[in-house]
Each structure stands twice: as C-alpha cells, then as structure tokens.
Chain A
C-alpha cells in the first residue's frame, strides 16, 4: 500500500469527524427524545375565561376569507348543538352544561408537535413549521383522506361537494399573518383573553403559574402538554376535560411513534425475504435434483441387476446349448457306430453265407 502515514491519519481523522457529526445530528430515533423547534409558538386557551361569544369564529372566517355561514356569528342558538369543524369552518365553540353553569370551549386544529396528519400523508402535504403552525399544501393533495382517519382530535374536514378541487380544511394558526408579525385572528378578536399567543414553552410556564395561583379554579393539568406527544394549542380548565368534549384517553404516544414499528419492519422484509425465499427455492431444487439422481441411480441399479440376470440366463442357455450339442453329437456318433456295426454284421453274415454253400460242394 502506497499511502503515507500522514495521509492515512488525515483520512482517518476526517472520517471520524464526519461520523461524529453525523452521529450527533442524525441520532437513531429508537431512544432519542425530540423536543420540537425551540421557537415553536402556541396558543393557551383558558376555558374558564371563555364566554361563548363566537367572536373568534367570526374573526377566523374573516381573515381566511371563508364563505359566510347560514346563521350569523352572533346567533348564539347554534351553541345548543355540538358542532365539529367542517369544510371551510376552521373552528367552532361548543357549550357544555356544568350544573347551573355554562362552560364554553373553542375547538380547532391543535397543531401537534408530532402531527398525525403529517405522519399519515403519503404526499407530504402537511408540514410542521418552525413557528409551530401545521400547514397544508393543497397543490399536492390527492384527496385520500387518510389524514382525517389519523387525526385523534377529528379536526380535518373535507370538501365532499367539490368535483374538481376538493380539499382538506383546517386551522392554519394564521401562518401567513403570524409571519407578518400579526396575531392569529381568533386570538386578536377574543374580548376575554381566553386565548394567548406566545412561545409554547413560555405558555406552559404561564399555565402552570395560573393553576398554582388558583388551585381551586383549575384542574391540575395542562391539556396538550403531553397528549399525542404534545400539541401547540394548550388548554386549562376548571371543568374536567372529559366533560367538555376533550378526550383524556389519547395517551402520550405520538402518531409517528405508533407507526414506527410497522414502518421499521418493512425494510427488514425487503432485506431478508429474498434470501429466505431463494433459500427455500434452492433447497427444493436441490431436493428435486437429488431425488432425480437417486431415481436415476435406482434405475441404473435395476438395469444392472437386469443385465446381470440376463447375462446369467445367456450363460445358462449357452451351457445348455453346448450340452445339447454334445449330446446330439454323441447320439449321432453312437448311431453311426451302431449302423457301422450293423453294416459290418451284415457284411459278415453275407460273407458267411457265401462261404457256406462253397463248403457243401467240396464234400
């Protein structure tokens, strides 16, 4: 190897430095805890302060230039029904009866720290921005609606009426306004400061302080701090959350965490299945081959045995034939001898007969 020691050490050093950087920044997700962007903003919704005036709904409708609904925003009779977000209705306020009191809660996209919609979307149409907003890109959306399945809060709505350009609709945390330094429409419109916009970490501190200051007025829980991995929209309330339409059984595991297991199994199948299946194929082919060879051997062995048998038969026959021949020859020879003997006898008799009459004449 023609490398100088200096060069080699230089390489090695460079490699380790790269590896170290890579390791620190792209840490395996298996045990790493992601804390979100430090500048993530959020909204703190103090449910105790909400009076159900619906000014936030109106502001949302205005700043997003959404179609006006049938019933105007100052019609509070709509609060008699439980509503959910709908196509072109990014947020709703619902009313709940708590004994003699009425409690009001605003519902909209919670802008999760690990959004289920972003995890589910197969065209990356959803993105969690550094400022905390989860934004939707209509230009790539295919309309599969898996995001609607995935969202544990049932927030995304769909334009089922549109034929050529149906889209998913949800709160944008007023991303365009926020980028211009304005407040989200609903936050600005709220007359009771039931909505505050700010850095998420700060909002959690504020919420904590408020709960600690008035422990008799608030449930000791900041909803959204950990639910589904944490949300940018945080809630504090004097009424138990499950009684005001907010699920408390969602757990703290985020959607990416929930699907991480199955997703990780996919490449292992691709890596191992070809090996295992080819192995089975090769083994079965080998078995076939060995079976064929054994069959051929068995056939050959059987042929050999048959040949041997045949050879023996032939030898036997040959022997018999030879014997027969010899016997036949012997027979012929014996016959010939007998005939010769007979001939001789006849001749002798004839000669004797000839000699006998001559003797008679001599007397």
Chain B
C-alpha cells in the first residue's frame, strides 16, 4: 500500500482490482448470511 500512484489510470487499476475481489466476496457471503438469518424460521414449502 505504499506505492505512489502517478496517474488516475494506475490508481484505478489498483482500486478497481480490489473492488472486484470484494464484489466476489459479497456475492458469496450474502447468501450465506441469509441462510444464517433465516435458519430458525418455520419451515415452509418453496419451489
């Protein structure tokens, strides 16, 4: 994290890269969190 960014292009390459990884994590963690949240709901039929 101590590289200096000389151009917006360099900065965005770095920041967007991290952002995409975070997006991937969100898409995995959110469904898991949903399952955790609804674990103890009454069971009902779904599709």
Contact = CB atoms under 8 A, between A and B. Distances in A.
Contacts of B27: 270, 274
Interface in A14-41: 18, 21-22, 25-26, 29, 32, 34-38
Q: Interface of chain B, helix or strand or loop or mixed? A: helix
Interface centre among A26, A37, A257, A266 (most CB of B within 10 A): A26
B7 A34 contact: yes
A114 B34 contact: no
Contact residues on B (Cβ < 8 Å of other chain), bracket: 20 to 34
A128 B7 contact: yes
Contacts of A25: 1-5
Contacts of B26: 270-271, 274
A119 B9 contact: yes
A312 interface: no
Given A21-B1, A29-B12, A114-B8, A267 B22 contact: yes
A263 interface: yes
B6 interface: yes
A278 interface: yes
A61 interface: no
Given A26-B15, A260-B12, A34 B30 contact: no
A254 interface: yes
Given A267-B22, A270-B27, A289-B44, A115 B15 contact: no
Interface string B1-35: 11111111111111110011011001100110010
A187 interface: no
B1 A34 contact: no
B9 A115 contact: yes
A118 interface: yes
A36 B4 CA distance: 10
A26 B6 contact: no
A275 to B, nearest CB: 8
A267 B30 contact: no
A63 to B, nearest CB: 27
Given A29-B8, A256-B8, A267 B2 contact: no
Given A25-B1, A26-B15, A278-B34, A270 B23 contact: yes
A157 interface: no
Q: Which 10 A-B pairs give the minimum distances between C-beta atoms?
A: A37-B6, A270-B23, A256-B8, A22-B1, A34-B8, A274-B30, A267-B19, A256-B9, A34-B7, A114-B9
21 contacts: A25-B4, A26-B1, A26-B5, A26-B11, A26-B15, A29-B8, A29-B11, A29-B12, A34-B5, A34-B10, A36-B7, A113-B7, A119-B12, A124-B13, A130-B6, A256-B8, A263-B16, A266-B23, A267-B19, A267-B22, A278-B34
